[in-house]
Amino acid sequence: MQKIRTAMLGTGFMGIVHTDAIRRLGNVEVAAVAGSSDSKAKAFADQLYIDRSTGDWESLLKDPSIDAVHICTPNALHAPMAKIAIANGKHVLCEKPLTMTSGEAKELLDAAEARGIVHATNHNLRYYPVVQHVRQMVASGELGEILAVQGTYSQDWLLYDTDYNWRIEAEHNGKLRAMGDIGSHWMDMIQHLTALPITSVCGELTTFHKTRKKPKGSVQTFSGKTLSPDDYEAIPIDTDDFGAVLLHLGDRARGSFTVSQISAGNKNSFRFEIYGTKSGISWNQERPDELWIGHRNSPNQVIVKDPSLLIGGAAGFADLPGGHSEGYDDSHKQLFKRFYGRIANRSNPIDYPTFADGLRGMLLLEAVAESSAKRGWVDVNL
Ligand code: SOE
């Protein structure tokens, strides 16, 4: 069987995660990598045993031997790269947030649809098996009517003013940093699970470190924690370290969540709670195989992932038996499996987040930014 040939764009933390997950699929080859320079691309290719590397992503996107691309670069490059990839008929899987503006996201969605290519936005966190179990519980009415949702996505890797990464700079990241980087996951998740659209937001974004000390070399996501702070330059910062949002969902559900990259001790703590008229659930990404189920009139439960006990289609997202953990890397594999399944066979369902979800995410991020600037509620028509 001929393998699908894919190109990796970006040589950072996500480039490594994507490359590993793609290789576990079996039917896809990471044929080339493009980086911001020949030397960075070569170092990545050497580390991950990729045959071809280049600093010239544009030429790679025009290469007829490449079928698909993964865009894992700083956010400002997503739209220009995706545009050229689509124009050259490549299938595109892009990191979130999809673009810098909703206008760009709409343009990409329209172009991808017109060209008939397969497109995805990497909201991988949907695909923990237990999370899919929650989706099935909601769909089958086990929770009753959804009344309230709450939670957080909290990290600590940008706590100190010496912590640095491209995401800090609006020019590369966009104006919304914690909200764009991890709030985008939270809002995508809650809508995916409840099937309720977010209709109004009231948010506040805060930058605690108005100046950060930028190391004079480049810093990989999460790795700044181990740098020694001897060679920095001070630069002004206007992207958010923290954000809080009140939400309306659907006709009458209500909710709230926070995002933070300065919460000591929270490494990658994505938590959500969903409460319905019958029961509630609570999940934390740092303990991904466990699900708390709350009852009013009987003892609460904690269930542990076991494909034989997951309901509906949720078992299809677990590749290992009960007691064998499935985590962050696996969530990517599950999404990529479906993306490439669709490329291989267009009669497969679109059961992964597309550019339409990426566009919805951008509209929500813009609404949160507007709300924070005007200190009031903003309606969203998704
Ligand atoms: C950094 O905050 C980051 O890598 C995000 O960009 C990812 O989307 C999240 O899954 C983990 O944290």
CB atoms within 10 A of CB 180: 25
268 Cβ below 6 A of ligand 1: yes
The pLDDT assigned to 221 comes to 72
Assess whether 113 and 143 both reside in one domain. Answer: no
The pLDDT assigned to 222 comes to 74
Assess whether 59 and 172 both reside in one domain. Answer: no
Average pLDDT over residues 257-285: 98
Assess whether 222 and 167 both reside in one domain. Answer: yes
91 near 117, Cβ under 8 Å? yes
CATH number at residue 43: 3.40.50.720
Assess whether 90 and 177 both reside in one domain. Answer: no
| Nearest ligand 1 atom, CA 178 | 2
Residue 334 placed within a domain: no
Tell whether the model's pLDDT for residue 230 goes beyond 80: no
Pocket test for ligand 1, best of 152, 268, 330 (most atoms within 8 A of CB): 268
Average pLDDT over residues 40-50: 98
Tell whether the model's pLDDT for residue 106 goes beyond 70: yes
CB atoms within 10 A of CB 138: 20
Token pair in block for residue 206: 């805060």
Q: How far apart are the C-alpha atoms of 86 and 69, rounded to whole Å?
A: 10
pLDDT interval class at 286 (50, 70, 90) = very high
Pocket test for ligand 1, best of 93, 181, 188, 240 (most atoms within 8 A of CB): 181
Residue 107 placed within a domain: yes
Residue 329 placed within a domain: no
Which residues lie across from 30 on neighbouring strands?
6
Domain coverage including residue 36 = 4-117
The pLDDT assigned to 187 comes to 98
CATH number at residue 145: 3.30.360.10
Assess whether 62 and 164 both reside in one domain. Answer: no
Q: How far apart are the C-alpha atoms of 82 and 85, rounded to whole Å?
A: 5
- Give just the sign of the alpha carbon dihedral 225, 263, 175, 58: positive
Maximum separation of any 2 CA atoms in the chain, in Å? 63
pLDDT interval class at 330 (50, 70, 90) = very high
Token pair in block for residue 181: 């980087």
Q: How far apart are the C-alpha atoms of 13 and 19, rounded to whole Å?
A: 10
315 Cβ below 6 A of ligand 1: no
Which residues lie across from 290 on neighbouring strands?
304
266 Cβ below 6 A of ligand 1: no
The pLDDT assigned to 216 comes to 79
Q: How far apart are the C-alpha atoms of 120 and 18, rounded to whole Å?
A: 13
166 near 95, Cβ under 8 Å? no
169 Cβ below 6 A of ligand 1: no
181 Cβ below 6 A of ligand 1: yes
| Nearest ligand 1 atom, CA 222 | 1
Assess whether 169 and 281 both reside in one domain. Answer: yes
Which pairing describes strands 28-34 and 4-9: parallel, antiparallel, or unpaired?
Answer: parallel
Residue with tokens 């709409």: 106
The pLDDT assigned to 225 comes to 64
Tell whether the model's pLDDT for residue 41 goes beyond 70: yes
Q: How far apart are the C-alpha atoms of 146 and 132, rounded to whole Å?
A: 17
Which residues lie across from 204 on neighbouring strands?
244
Q: How many domains does the chain have?
A: 2
Q: How far apart are the first and last CA of the chain?
A: 41
Residue 340 placed within a domain: no
Tell whether the model's pLDDT for residue 229 goes beyond 70: no
**Strand arrangement of the beta sheet that strand 253-260 belongs to:** 301-304, 290-295, 279-284, 269-276, 146-154, 253-260, 242-249, 198-206, 378-379
Average pLDDT over residues 323-330: 96
Assess whether 39 and 174 both reside in one domain. Answer: no
